[in-house]
Chain A
């Protein structure tokens, strides 16, 4: 199980990488941590002619608070960095909650935030998190820089809004506010496995009730999916009882999600797990209250 042959260049800058991609239009791919790409290449499911390694661009590994109170997370931030960062823990606890579900330590030591988003595996945690948090994806390409809302970034299984020759360089998101709360949960058969169903949620809370919430389910479709009807039911002012809200949200979920059948799990199973997960994650958010 060895990869097909390829050439390899270490990019000296993002622009160098962009130029290399442009010069090798069809055959070049970016590698950073390589924790997904290497597997695909070992399987010969991916056989790029040129690998452009951006892994040494240390400045893409920074986590910074911007002037407008947003958190900017460099694309090369390792999963382990997210786990260890006090800024992440304080300002975006959802990522902290999610990250320990991502594979295992050795993978987290190497895998990068940007890599995970670019790889866009429908069963992985971080794409759903950035959708729940309404983050923005910062991209550098041959035609300059651009910003794509995370909610428009994921377009299919392993497909994103990244164009040919573009490189994801950072993610920006709002820091958590005092009246906000986030929740995360997933069902995976074993510690670190890809989820059968997962949910990243972020909302606002007042007087023990959710007043706004975003629910990003993953492993239920080709991209993470925002369950808008369920979210609406959870914050419906016409329904004062939280239990009743949850019940309606669970019912609405079948309108939001249309999970696929696959050898490991039927659509019906995924839908049922999504309902269970909704109840548990929302219950946990309400129990913990704002600010976490």
Chain B
């Protein structure tokens, strides 16, 4: 079995592992690094559960090979939960207070996408929020509470402006 040395900056730390080329990014994060906050839901790019930030933009972890991410900066929900990620923190708080999650399996992916959304647009409309998360499947909530929570986080962030 051919393996390749792959170096990725994950949550601010450079990690190197020997991986098979066929290992995708989400399996790399979960299997090699134990970062199990990023979930595997469909492995064909539809459900959004494996969404992470790569060089600041959302990508599907199941549709990118770990070797392709070599040399990139990857941020997962674990990294975004560390201090300093003001937008994610506000979203997490709003999701808990608004009960915008039930089983929680889709939640990390949605939080990553919502972080990207609020980074680009600090005051999105409900319609825009729905569009932004439209690539994330949630079977539990019916989405309404998620839209509420993203709006609530945007409001809190606007009221407590500071460096992002």
Query: Which residues on A are within 8 Å of B, measured CB to CB?
Result: 1-8, 10, 31, 34-35, 38-39, 41-43, 51, 53, 55, 80, 103-107, 109-110, 190-192
Contact = CB atoms under 8 A, between A and B. Distances in A.
Contacts of B132: 105
Interface in B7-60: 20-22, 24, 27, 43-45, 48, 51, 57-60
Interface string B113-135: 10010000000000000011011
Given A5-B2, A34-B63, A43-B44, A106 B51 contact: yes
A38 B134 contact: no
24 contacts: A2-B27, A3-B22, A4-B22, A5-B1, A5-B2, A7-B2, A31-B65, A34-B65, A38-B64, A42-B24, A55-B68, A80-B57, A103-B45, A104-B134, A105-B58, A105-B113, A105-B135, A106-B51, A106-B57, A106-B60, A106-B113, A109-B57, A110-B63, A191-B134
Contacts of B113: 105-106
A110 to B, nearest CB: 5
Contacts of B5: none
B64 A42 contact: no
A51 B21 contact: yes
A176 to B, nearest CB: 26
A142 to B, nearest CB: 24
A54 to B, nearest CB: 11
B24 A38 contact: yes
A2 B22 contact: yes
Interface of B: 1-2, 4, 20-22, 24, 27, 43-45, 48, 51, 57-60, 62-65, 67-68, 113, 116, 131-132, 134-135
Contact of B45 (A2, A39, A80, A105): A39
Contacts of A190: 134
Instruction: State the majority secondary structure of interface residues on A.
Output: loop
Nearest to A37: B63
Given A1-B43, A34-B63, 6 more contacts: A8-B4, A34-B64, A34-B65, A38-B45, A104-B134, A110-B59
Contacts, number: 84
Given A105-B116, A109-B57, A8 B65 contact: yes
Contacts of A4: 22
A105 B52 CA distance: 12
Contact of A42 (B62, B67, B131): B62
B12 to A, nearest CB: 20
A42 B2 contact: no
Nearest to B61: A106
